[in-house]
């Protein structure tokens, strides 16, 4: 992958800039499964820009809805906590593993893993919810059209 950044204004040496980089990844290159049916994400912790010193880096890994027992394995100490993110049609929310590190240098660009358990049945929750909503809507329409609301004489 290649990331090309074009700042809105030119940046000169000594200037401080704050920005957020967010991106999605193809899972087949980074998501693996252990022998005990746990899944884990193997990714690089650190700034994707070469020779960059970062004052504070926050890495957020959003797990699928229904994932359980998240744990992060990082080769150096970081502050970790969990959050919950709600997206479209989420019922229980998605677990977010948040890792923060201050004073990051290029030596910190090493791999970390986020382990979690996930049952594939949870992937059917949103399609079943949509199908049920459409089914109930059409049943309500059919019932409304078959009800006789006229006043008898």
Question: Which helix or strand (DSSP H or E) is residue 83 part of?
Answer: strand 79-85
User: Residues 43-100: pLDDT tens digits?
Assistant: 988 776 777 778 888 999 999 998 999 999 999 999 999 999 998 888 889 999 999 9
Are 72 and 125 contacting, i.e. CB atoms less than 8 angstroms apart?
Answer: no
User: Residues 128-144: pLDDT tens digits?
Assistant: 999 999 999 999 999 99
Structure tokens given for 129: 């919810």
Are 115 and 71 contacting, i.e. CB atoms less than 8 angstroms apart?
Answer: yes
Structure tokens given for 137: 């809507």
Structure tokens given for 11: 């940046």
Residue-averaged pLDDT of the chain: 87
**pLDDT value for 113:** 95
- Could you tell me the strand order of the sheet in which 110-117 lies? 31-33, 38-45, 110-117, 68-73
């Amino acid at each position: 992958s290649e990331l090309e950044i074009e700042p809105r204004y030119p940046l000169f040496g000594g200037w401080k800039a704050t920005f957020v980089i967010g991106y999605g990844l193809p899972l087949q290159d980074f998501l693996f499964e252990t022998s005990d049916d746990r899944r884990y994400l193997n990714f690089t912790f650190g700034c994707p820009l070469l020779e960059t010193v970062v004052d504070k880096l926050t890495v957020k890994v959003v797990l699928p809805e229904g994932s359980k027992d998240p744990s992060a394995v990082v080769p150096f100490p970081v502050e970790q906590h969990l959050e919950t993110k709600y997206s479209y049609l989420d019922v229980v929310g998605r677990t977010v593993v948040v890792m923060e590190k201050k004073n990051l240098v290029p030596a910190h660009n090493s791999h970390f893993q986020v382990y979690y358990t996930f049952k594939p049945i949870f992937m059917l929750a949103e399609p079943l919810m949509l199908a049920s909503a459409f089914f109930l809507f059409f049943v309500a329409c059919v019932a409304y059209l078959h009800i006789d609301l006229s006043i008898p004489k």
